């Protein structure tokens, strides 16, 4: 976990795969509904959001595919690690995002999971899938930037 002083966030999980596979068009911070010892497990860093995505089900936004391991010191009533979790979002914001998703076939992906003022927050992004040639161009650009940085460090 890393602490970012400027934003007051305590970073728990970052979804690098989302930035590689998708072009992020819009971002939003939402809450997440947790039960039992899930907060303690997240604080310990036992969470994976790499293969997760969000869906609108019955006028609610749900996080599907996120894995929060059971808390080691919890009791036998620990919740299922792969269960779907409800995301807490304002109704107007949900309607706005739902219309864009239905209209243009976008995906909602989790980008970061972090603590702000003691509360677990999730940053989600409205994403458009990248084509293979876009991914190659990104890798080429990243390699060239790395070479430039190396050259500048020597001088």
Whole-angstrom CA distances from 52 to 19, 131, 152 are 13, 20, 38
- How far is 28 from 142, CA to CA, in rounded Å? 26
Q: Domains in the chain and their CATH numbers? A: 2-130 (2.40.280.10)
Whether 98 contacts 55, CB under 8 Å = no
pLDDT attached to residue 2: 65
Question: Is a pLDDT exceeding 80 seen at residue 65?
Answer: yes
Higher-confidence position of 76 and 142? 142
Question: Is a pLDDT exceeding 70 seen at residue 3?
Answer: no
Backbone phi, then psi, for 4, in 5-degree steps? -100, 115
- How far is 34 from 42, CA to CA, in rounded Å? 10
Give the model confidence (pLDDT) of 97-112 as tens digits: 998 888 888 999 999 9
Give the model confidence (pLDDT) of 9-62 as tens digits: 899 999 999 988 899 999 999 999 999 889 999 999 999 999 999 999 999 999
């Amino acid at each position: 976990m890393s602490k970012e002083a400027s934003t007051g966030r305590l970073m728990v999980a970052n979804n690098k795969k989302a930035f590689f596979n998708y072009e992020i068009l819009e971002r939003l911070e939402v809450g997440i509904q947790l039960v039992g010892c899930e907060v303690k497990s997240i604080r310990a860093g036992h969470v994976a959001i790499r293969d997760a995505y969000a869906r609108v089900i019955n006028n609610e936004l749900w996080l599907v595919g996120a894995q929060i391991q059971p808390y080691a010191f919890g009791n036998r009533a620990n919740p299922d690690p792969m269960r779907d979790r409800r995301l807490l979002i304002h109704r107007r914001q949900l309607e706005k995002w739902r219309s864009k998703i239905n209209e243009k076939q976008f995906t909602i992906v989790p980008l970061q999971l972090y603590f702000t003022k003691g509360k677990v927050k999730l940053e989600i992004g409205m994403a458009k899938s990248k084509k293979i040639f876009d991914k190659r161009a990104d890798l080429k650009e990243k390699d060239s930037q790395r070479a430039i940085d190396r050259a500048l460090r020597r001088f």
